Amino acid sequence: MEISNDSSIKKPKRLTSVVWNHFERVRKADICYAVCLHCNKKLSGSSNSGTTHLRNHLMRCLKRSNYDVSQLLAAKRMKKDSSGGLANISFDEGQRKDEFKSAVVKYDPDQRRDEVVTIASSKFDQERSRNDLARMIILHGYPLSIVEHVGFKVFVKNVQPLFEVLPNSTIELACMKIYEKEKEKIFETINRLQGRINVSVEMWSSPENMDYLCLTAHYIDEDWKLQKKLLNFITLDSSHTDDMLSDVIIKCLMDWDIDCKLFALTFDDFSTNDEIIRRINEHISKKRPLLSNGRLFDLCSAAHTMNAIAEDVIEALREITQKIRASFKYIRSSQVIQGRFNEMAHQVGITSQKILVPDSPGQWNSTYFMLETAIEYKAAFNLLHEHDPDYASPLTVLEWEWTTSVAGYLKLFVEIMNIFSSNKTLTANIYFPEICDVHIQLIAWCKSSDNFLSSLSSRIKAKFDKYWSKCSLALAVAAVLDPRFKMKLVEYYYSQIYGSTAMDRVKEVSSGIKELYDAYSIRFTSVDQGSALPGSGLPGTSNDSRDRLKGFDKFLHETSQGQNVMSDLDKYLEEPVFPRNCDFNILNWWNVHTPRYPILSRMARDVIGTPMSSIGPKMAFSTGGRVLDRCRSSLSPDTRQALICAQDWLRIELEDPRPLSSAPYRPFLLGTD
């Protein structure tokens, strides 16, 4: 029998690379070839040649099938590198070459990051890839024009030559569709809530001096998790005067159908035009009476108030801080001067290791750190003034005293802002003790015998008093609903703030929370009788027409009115306070105790979910306001709102579960939280 020199041989078991799904190994004489099954090109098939050149050929082969080979190879590499591991890719020798299974890593927006990536059989899907690209642009804040960048096009073609690079306008439409789809989800989620909704209102700007209005919903869901969702990012133009802002806000609330279930509005500026508030209150009251006569409805951001006061303090010390900046700059101007200053610091016994760094523009806490450092080196600066005639910016004895006192003011504000910005669950109950500490300190500072310090303290206290008069009741009610504090904390702080009139003020808080509870109790009872109000969020009895005990429910309610039944609120306040500990979680506590306090727990959910502050960690000490970057500010208003809101929603959807107030990330919102 004559044997042909070109004989096809079966792939030995050691040929485990997936590239051999696309090549046939043949031997001619003593040389092995790898013949491409798509274009019949011969390449080296020797075991010493490896498979890199074969993979490179597959990436360039124009006649290969439409299966996503590049993704197959990528999945193979991921399997090797990933600690989680991927499903094994096996090759059946009897399988037809044109029906091999291609491993594709699918994108699933509901998939947790720590889940094992699955491999499925799939052909390349242009539409799915386009949507994945749109989601990527939204989620990471990339510019829409990224699809026109040469580097992006080259990268995509190398990864998947079948992908058709789309124009900017097509990607924009895909982003808008994602926005509309996600908006429907948010709308359904919010309107299914049984409780009320709180909304924060913030102003933004851009380098082009455009103004924007940002509305964010805050609420505690049925699982007692604090939620935060961006609703609108409205572009304001010259036609939007101050008196028209109320119409813009009302329209947004009506579009989301939450104007009838609104609990409180929190504004970032405590000097917000009163006419705006009046118009919004008037509109809300037409649909539903405001709770507590509206005293809990109109609130201001505590963090913005603290920032405004801190800026006033720094401005009052402006000339002195300029001298300190100049002193730092002089000492850092040469190694010789730096060395001489260090020697003087050692002579006067200064052991501080702090570096003389000037403050950063736009971050008032850096000014505090600069003042604190200067105070520690005070003796060295005085010695430098005595021995260095070129040192031209020394502080007088009185200026050093002012600097020390003002640094003490700023230290308190820095500590409080750190608490506001670092707390993982920004529920309303944490604010009352911090704000009361500021109040007590301001009272003491106003008694200073120094005219400069007493005048400064009076100015900032006047600004604080305006905030306190608007928000003190809401702050106190939230503190009372913390089982560790109840009315005891109000009594403790009010005795220090109001002195002889403290009990009258305590009674105002007690009456306020009782009035609020009565409103919830009446609504709870009305629902039990089958007359639920829109947005009340209180469960009623079954509407089944076959329920023969409905009459009994009414009889029970009527005959119980005169009985001395202890309410949820009375029972809660009479029980001992819960022990304070660092692991306490107020949301978990109320979740567990909901069956014990069915009415009070519903009230607590709305009160505790009120945003007493509308500022994030990265903006905690900013003096420049929130600024949109040029990339987003150049977009059309509708596209801008879609990208900003959708990014907030997708980030929440894709990230691991965590309190929404912790480290939010919006790369295209400069200085955002």
Q: What is the pLDDT of residues 464-522, one digit of tens each?
A: 999 999 999 999 999 999 999 999 999 999 999 999 999 999 999 999 999 999 888 87
Residue-level length of the chain: 673
Beta strands in 81-153 (DSSP E): 103-105, 119-121
- The number of helices, as runs of H, and strands, as runs of E, in the chain is 23, 13
Taking the C-alpha atoms of residue 456 and residue 454, their distance in angstroms, rounded to an integer, is 5
Query: Phi, psi at residue 657, to the nearest 5°?
Result: -60, 130
631-659 mean pLDDT: 79
Q: Do 199 and 265 meet the contact criterion of CB atoms below 8 Å apart?
A: yes
* pLDDT at site 374: 94
332-342 mean pLDDT: 91
pLDDT band at 564; cut points 50, 70, 90: low
- 96: burial class by Cβ within 10 Å (0-12, 13-18, 19+)? exposed
Taking the C-alpha atoms of residue 519 and residue 650, their distance in angstroms, rounded to an integer, is 37
Is pLDDT at 360 greater than 80 in this prediction? yes
Quickly tell me which residue has 């024009």 as its tokens.
145
**pLDDT single digits (tens) 400-449:** 999 999 999 999 999 999 888 877 678 999 999 999 999 999 999 999 99
Where is average pLDDT lowest: 76-80, 127-131, 193-197, 468-472?
76-80
Where is average pLDDT lowest: 251-255, 283-287, 368-372, 400-404?
283-287
Is pLDDT at 611 greater than 80 in this prediction? yes
pTM of the model as a whole: 0.73
Taking the C-alpha atoms of residue 614 and residue 269, their distance in angstroms, rounded to an integer, is 10
pLDDT band at 241; cut points 50, 70, 90: low
* pLDDT at site 628: 82
DSSP string, 242-294: GGGHHHHHHHHHHHTT-GGGEEEEEES-TT--HHHHHHHHHHHHHHSPPGGGG
> What is the H or E stretch that residue 226 is in?
strand 226-236
Is pLDDT at 527 greater than 50 in this prediction? no
pLDDT band at 340; cut points 50, 70, 90: very high
Q: Do 232 and 204 meet the contact criterion of CB atoms below 8 Å apart?
A: no
* pLDDT at site 101: 37
* pLDDT at site 43: 85
CA atoms within 13 A on the CB side of 507: 4
* pLDDT at site 209: 81
Most confident by average pLDDT, 65-69, 550-554, 648-652: 648-652
Other C-beta atoms within 10 Å of 614: how many? Answer: 24
Taking the C-alpha atoms of residue 108 and residue 659, their distance in angstroms, rounded to an integer, is 22
* pLDDT at site 665: 33
* pLDDT at site 274: 77
Taking the C-alpha atoms of residue 123 and residue 117, their distance in angstroms, rounded to an integer, is 18
Beta strands in 553-637 (DSSP E): 627-628
Proportion of the chain above pLDDT 90, given as a percent = 44
Other C-beta atoms within 10 Å of 650: how many? Answer: 19
pLDDT band at 657; cut points 50, 70, 90: very low
282-303 mean pLDDT: 82
* pLDDT at site 95: 38
Rg value, the chain, Cα = 34
Averaged pLDDT of the chain: 80
Is pLDDT at 59 greater than 90 in this prediction? no
Which long-range contacts link 519-522 to residues 24+ away (Cβ below 8 Å)?
519/291, 519/292, 520/599, 520/600, 520/602, 520/603, 521/567, 521/568, 521/599
SS3 per residue for 525-559: HHHHCCCCCCCCCCCCCCCCCCCCCHHHHHHHHHH
Quickly tell me which residue has 């990265």 as its tokens.
618
Greatest alpha-carbon pair distance for the chain in Å reads 120
Most confident by average pLDDT, 175-189, 297-311, 537-551: 175-189
Most confident by average pLDDT, 134-138, 301-305, 540-544, 615-619: 134-138
Query: Phi, psi at residue 234, to the nearest 5°?
Result: -90, 135
DSSP single-letter state for residue 627? E
* pLDDT at site 15: 65
> What is the H or E stretch that residue 26 is in?
strand 23-28
> Residues with Cβ < 8 Å from 156, sequence gap 6 or more?
163, 165
* pLDDT at site 271: 58
Q: Do 160 and 123 meet the contact criterion of CB atoms below 8 Å apart?
A: no
* pLDDT at site 2: 42
Where is average pLDDT lowest: 32-41, 109-118, 307-316?
109-118
Taking the C-alpha atoms of residue 453 and residue 634, their distance in angstroms, rounded to an integer, is 46
pLDDT band at 567; cut points 50, 70, 90: confident
- 203: burial class by Cβ within 10 Å (0-12, 13-18, 19+)? middle
**pLDDT single digits (tens) 89-130:** 333 333 333 433 333 334 444 444 444 334 444 588 888 899
SS3 per residue for 325-374: HHHHHHHCCCHHHHHHHHHHHHHCCCCCCCCCCCCCCCEHHHHHHHHHHH
144-159 mean pLDDT: 90
313-320 mean pLDDT: 92
Task: Give the residue from 569, 262, 259, 302 showing the smallest Cα distance to 434.
Answer: 302
Distance of CA 464 to the CA centre of its chain: 27
Most confident by average pLDDT, 86-90, 194-198, 278-282: 194-198
User: What separation, in Å, do the N-terminal and C-terminal C-alpha atoms of the chain show?
Assistant: 81
* pLDDT at site 1: 38
